[in-house]
Structure 1
Amino acid sequence: MTTDIRPLDGIRVLDLSTLLPGPLGTLFLAEAGADVIKIERPGHGDEMRSYVPKLGEASANYAVLNRGKRAFAADLKDPADRDRVLDLAASADVVMEQFRPGVADRLGLGYDQVRARNPKIVYCSITGYGQTGPHTARAGHDLNYLAESGLLGVVTDGTGAPQLPVSVLADIAGGSYPAVLNILLALRQRDLTGRGSRLDISMAHNLQVLAYGYFAAHQGSGEWPRPGREQLTGGSPRYRIYSTSDGRHVAVGALERKFWERLAVLIGLPARLVDDEGQEDVVIAAVAERIGAHPAEYWRKVFDGEDVCATVVSTWDEAVDAGLVEPDRPERLTGPGFDVGTLRSPLDPALRGTPGAVGYPSLDPLPADVGGLWR
């Protein structure tokens, strides 16, 4: 829908996070109308600013994740700067932080310190392993959380080795998304009760949502998934990736019988192999042989217009040509379902030289309406 009022108009977010999980979460909030104030270290700012490729002075990654926000410099170890940031927290609705457990408290910006100034604050912490427990102080990145959760090992190659994931699943699905969801729930709860909330977002623990099927199977059978052998991890001929004769690939997701039976007709699978239960390996080999006999373009034409849940694995250029990827429309990144046309890129020429514009070469002082800060 298109409306002049966005859901989070009037909500102020103080963003102390860096890199991906927190900034992507606050991007969702900015696109919903929130005023996001991002605090970065003096001089170089968020480390993601230095990534390549660049869009002007900032990296492309930084520009996409932080558009529509205002960025300012503060040395959180300096008491004067810290106090100014605490003043901001006192006027905010949401604080997002991504320090290791205990760091924000030592800086004087922890939940108890902010709540003392602002009892209605929704204070969200994203960490690798949560605020409590035996792993809280450990360093980690997306791949580590996937590895320790058990998820990384459920899909393996022919040698039994796990593969790198297609994206940073823990950061986004275990960090950004649950943070935004719980912030919105906490704001609604605040509407009803007048009380703020403390949100503890553990990326490693939230990966259990992605593993829901494995937990359900364990409850029913007492068994954990066998690497590469379950229905969705390579054990079924109906849900696999097959090579074509020209080195491309076809993704088959024909789980339902009607799709599988039609696919069998299209690829010439013998009738005796259509019932794949109990002979999965034989059927996998037969499907691989038939798909491997022709190039990708042949299969693209065969599957065109057919309901078989089988598709050629696209290159990025092909995905763009098909309209499924729109690289020149970064506002589609989060796709909130309402008008975000007023959110400009942080490197929009109209914002150049504007104090507080994200992507501006220096980190500028805060304007007077949010505390009259510095630098």
Structure 2
Amino acid sequence: MEEPRKGPLAGVRVLELAGLAPGPFAGMMLADHGAQVLRIDRVEAVTDRPRRDVMDRGKRTIGLDLKSPEGVAALRRLAARADVLIEVFRPGVAERLGIGPADLHAVNERLIYGRLTGWGQEGPLASVAGHDIDYIAISGVLSRLGRAGGKPTPPVNLLGDFAGGGLMLAYGVLLALFERERTGRGRVIDAAMVDGAALLFAMFYTGIADGRWGPRGTNLLDTGAPMYDTYETADGGFLAVGPLEPKFWAEMLDRIGRVADVTDLPSRDDPAVWPLLRDRLTAIFRSRTRAEWERLFEGSDACVFPVLDVNEAVAYPHNRARETFLEIDGVPQPAPAPRLLGGERRREPGELAPATRLHDLTEWGLPEDEAAALREAGVLA
């Protein structure tokens, strides 16, 4: 039997139907905080080679042939004991397989059925293919990302897939778990990446409406302002410069003034001279190496820090002190977040891909002899 999990979600059973990154990310977040997550993959995808995907940590994996009646029946048996199911198919696919919300609520009315798609369960685009870049484009957010005069630039697939999708689904699961304590019934969660991406941009809609937030790359927080940008150093490194408040700006100039002349810098309060101010700062920061600037700004409120490579971030003193990163099976990776203080020490997530044994499925309602028969028939891997 699987060892008992610890954390605020201990005792919560989650079935995660395998899919692209946002679904596994939501499952990882739940597993990180104690949920018992069983990942359901295709039979042919389950091999003897260990998985080393960070988003599989703390989960167990089996393969089920969901195109066979036996595989569907097995999933229903598992769902009868589950608290949550994560589904990432196009709308209608789960229903055609016989594992849609109505099918599974018939065997477990307490089940929280989380559906994660790009466009949502209804609407003109619901059945159309798409990716993160498309969802954030339709949300309106992509039009606001990028340098002034340049084309819209997506922040890899963080905004739609992970923040607008996986994170929102995990949030929806927690809402539904909380509500179920009062109602005794599950919910269907319709988590659409286009909805999530739009919501993440909520802060800026007032400024857009009243004209204070202009085209991309011209505003205070989108690299329009020289006091909120990145600058190259003499050795090809970069600094993140963000002293927005006047007192932090003064602190930055005081530190820079120890090694360079800043007495005639253009005013930061006049957007008309921002290009000139940016040029001057560019020249100043290129005059020394990143390490030299790090030493100069160390311990200050200047809001100037190095732009770290991912591998550098793992070893950065603050991150090491906070244990922001950890290593599992030789793979450095972010630690679970957020931290819940005041109780036990933050728990460590499980292995990246712990082995699944037949008897592990008995507590999910699938006896070992039946699981063995399904494996022999090629329905279960």
- TM interval, shorter chain, is 0.7 to 0.9
Tell me, yes or no, if structure 1 residue 270 matches structure 2 residue 276: no
The aligned counterpart of 2:243 is 254
User: What residue number does 1:361 align with?
Assistant: none
2:49 counterpart residue number: 57
Query: Is 1:115 aligned to residue 105 of structure 2?
Result: yes
**2:17 aligned with 1:16, yes or no?**
yes
Identity value in percent? 33
Q: 2:286 aligns with which of 288, 292, 297?
A: 292
> What does residue range 1-375 of structure 1 map to in structure 2 within 5 Å?
6-45=7-46, 57-61=49-53, 64-157=54-147, 160-166=150-156, 168-221=158-211, 225-267=214-256, 268-270=261-263, 273-278=266-271, 279-323=273-317, 324=319, 326-328=325-327, 332-337=334-339, 339=345, 341=347, 343-347=349-353, 355=357, 366-367=361-362, 370-372=365-367, 373=371, 374-375=374-375
Shift of 1:123: 0.8
TM-score, structure 2 length as denominator? 0.83
Aligned-residue offset at 1:298: 2.2
**What is the alpha-carbon root mean square deviation over aligned residues?**
2.7
Offset at residue 78 of structure 1 (A): 0.8
User: What is the SS of the residue equivalent to 1:19?
Assistant: coil
1:360 aligned partner: none
Question: In structure 2, what is the equivalent of residue 359 of structure 1?
Answer: none
- Asked if the contact 1:155–1:227 (Cα under 8 Å) also holds between the matched residues in 2, the reply is yes
Q: 2:88–2:117: 8 Å Cα contact kept in structure 1?
A: yes
SS across alignment from 1:8 = coil
Cα pair 1:8 1:32 within 8 Å, conserved: yes
Q: CA deviation at 1:34?
A: 1.9
Contact 1:13 1:96 in 2 (8 A): yes
Q: Could you say what secondary structure the match of 1:117 adopts?
A: coil
One-letter amino acid matched to 1:60: R
Note if contact 1:252-1:310 (Cα within 8 Å) is conserved in structure 2.
yes
Secondary structure of 2:325's match? coil
Q: C-alpha deviations, 1:12-59, integer Å up to 9, x for none?
A: 1111132311112112222222222211111124xxx9xxxxxx8244
In 2 relative to 1, CA 57–228 (structure 1 residues): closer, same or farther, beyond 3 Å?
same
- Provide, for residues 171-217 of structure 1, a one-character-per-residue CA deviation record: whole Å limited to 9, x for no partner: 11011111111111111111012221111000111112321232121
Letter in 1 for 2:302: V
Any conservation in 1 of the 2:82–2:364 contact (CA below 8 Å)?
no
The answer on whether the counterparts of 2:80 and 2:365 sit within 8 Å (CA) in structure 1 is no
SS of 1:71's equivalent in the other structure is strand
**Equivalent AA in structure 2 for residue 322 of structure 1:** Y
User: Which position in structure 1 is the counterpart of 2:378?
Assistant: none
Kindly indicate whether the alpha-carbon contact (under 8 Å) linking 2:78 and 2:364 is maintained by their aligned counterparts in 1: no
Indicate how the Cα distance of structure 1 residues 344 and 140 shifts in structure 2: closer, same or farther if over 3 A, else same. Answer: same
Partner Cα distance (1:130, 1:277) in 2? 44
| Secondary structure of 1:314 counterpart | coil
Corresponding residue SS for 2:37: strand
SS in 2 for 1:273: coil
Q: Does the 8 A contact of 2:139 with 2:195 survive in 1? A: yes
How many residue pairs match? The answer is: 350
Deviation at 1:133, TM superposition (A): 1.0
